[in-house]
Structure 1
Amino acid sequence: MQIENESQLRELYGYATGRAKDKLLYSLEPHAINFINHAPFLVLSTSSKEGKQDASPRGGHPGFVKVMNEKEIVIPDAKGNNRVDSISNIVETGTIGLLFLIPGIDETLRVNGTAYLSTDKAYLNLFTAEQNPPKACIVIRVEELFLHCAKAFMRSKLWDKNTQINRDDFPTIGQMLKDQLGSKETPESRDAMMKRYKKDL
């Protein structure tokens, strides 16, 4: 049966109770700030006016996301491929969802809110030490946040080195793109890709 409405959904799942219900917060507090300050990686989710969804990885040294106050955080828009999928959505709708990850920690921090793109020097100056300083920053107004439990990471064993595959047994992105695009060019090697990427870090 296809679930088509809220009542069917609740009949199947019920409602959150206890800590699952009560953990929702509306501004950053010391533990959330500490989590963000230690996170070198996040997934940024956005949506266009037409409802087209996008999820984009963002990374840097721990603390690359700046906490301005209990309601505002700033993410540098690091040098990329100029597709600007995520920031186009932000310009269109001003909504955002963030999932912060810390290597070795199975819990995650989820933050939802509104966002805009800014070239204000007050924000850009926060990132002048970067190898490639950003052209713009994503400024987020925090509306809600909560810690997410460890079960997904426990199931996946994401941080367990024993579950890591041999990279040589997995196709390079160069090979995958060659196949997907039907290109006749020799695929870029992993070493060449890494050297090219390092220039843009």
Structure 2
Amino acid sequence: MNLFKQILATEDEIRELIGFPSEVVQKKTIHELDSHCRAFIAMSPLLFMSTSDTQGYCDVSPRGDAPGFVHILDNQHMVIPERPGNRRIDSLRNILSNPRVGLIFLIPGLEETLRVNGEAYVIKDDELLEQMKVNDKKPLLGIGVRVDEAFIHCAKSFKRSGAWNKESWSDQDRLPSIPHMISAHVNSESFTVEKIRDGLQESYEKRLY
């Protein structure tokens, strides 16, 4: 049973409520990484990458490291190092079947974000991966991106959320317990909260790179 009763099915229905973008919004999209985009990416320690498979099943995955971790090759190409993770390789599997990707770059404290859309490739170019070593460890793979469009996304969502305002953050003791959540989702006597907590700690301390 679908709980949603008033589903819009056409762009015209949506436009009737939302309207159309301003001239600035319509013209702000560019099709390369100009000097402004490069400077933004060089200061960004965190991005979110959206991918989907050929059937349209979607995934959004964070990628983060020290500012400048994304390697810009020229005004159309960049490489995102694939650091150790949970080995699900959701993004990589999606890219193999559907190379279209969307990226959002964030800079802590800056409420505007940079959006980049393009075509991605799973790469193993040693000369490029060598340049992205950390602690003398080279990433095994990289995600190469050919840029189709780039544009600044306005700050309204960050202003409404107060995400960068530390005074709005919840106290640590009120935050969700991640070990409890994972243990409940795994739902196995073999993986207690304590075992999950120890495993996470070991991973964070010893397997970031």
TM-score range for the pair, normalised by the shorter chain length: over 0.9
Aligned amino acid, residue 186 of structure 1: T
- Residue 115 of structure 1 contacts residue 139 of structure 1 at CA under 8 Å; is this kept in 2? yes
What CA deviation, in whole Å up to 9, does each residue of 1:90-122 have, x standing for no partner?
111111000000101101000000010011112
> C-alpha separation between the residues in 2 aligned to 1:134 and 1:182?
33
| 1:54-73 correspondence to structure 2 within 5 Å | 54-73=59-78
Q: Establish whether residue 194 from structure 1 lines up as the match of residue 201 from structure 2.
A: yes
Structure 1 counterpart of 2:14: 9
Structure 2 counterpart of 1:176: 181
Q: Establish whether residue 105 from structure 1 lines up as the match of residue 144 from structure 2.
A: no
CA drift of 1:190 comes to: 5.1
- Aligned-CA RMSD value: 1.6
Structure 1 counterpart of 2:3: none
| 1:128-147 correspondence to structure 2 within 5 Å | 128-130=133-135, 132-147=137-152
Check 1:117–1:151 CA distance in 2 against 1; reply closer, same or farther (3 A cut). same
Structure 1 counterpart of 2:27: 22
- Residue 71 of structure 2 contacts residue 132 of structure 2 at CA under 8 Å; is this kept in 1? no
Identity %: 40
What CA deviation, in whole Å up to 9, does each residue of 1:109-148 have, x standing for no partner?
0000001001111221121234542111100000001001
> C-alpha separation between the residues in 1 aligned to 2:166 and 2:133?
35
Give the 3-state SS of the residue equivalent to 1:69 in structure 2.
coil
Compute the TM-score of the two structures, normalised by the length of structure 2.
0.90
> C-alpha separation between the residues in 1 aligned to 2:193 and 2:185?
12
What CA deviation, in whole Å up to 9, does each residue of 1:160-180 have, x standing for no partner?
111111222223211111122
Check 1:155–1:191 CA distance in 2 against 1; reply closer, same or farther (3 A cut). farther
1:114 counterpart (113, 116, 119): 119
What CA deviation, in whole Å up to 9, does each residue of 1:2-47 have, x standing for no partner?
2101221222222212211111111111111100000000000001
Aligned amino acid, residue 158 of structure 1: A
Structure 1 counterpart of 2:161: 156
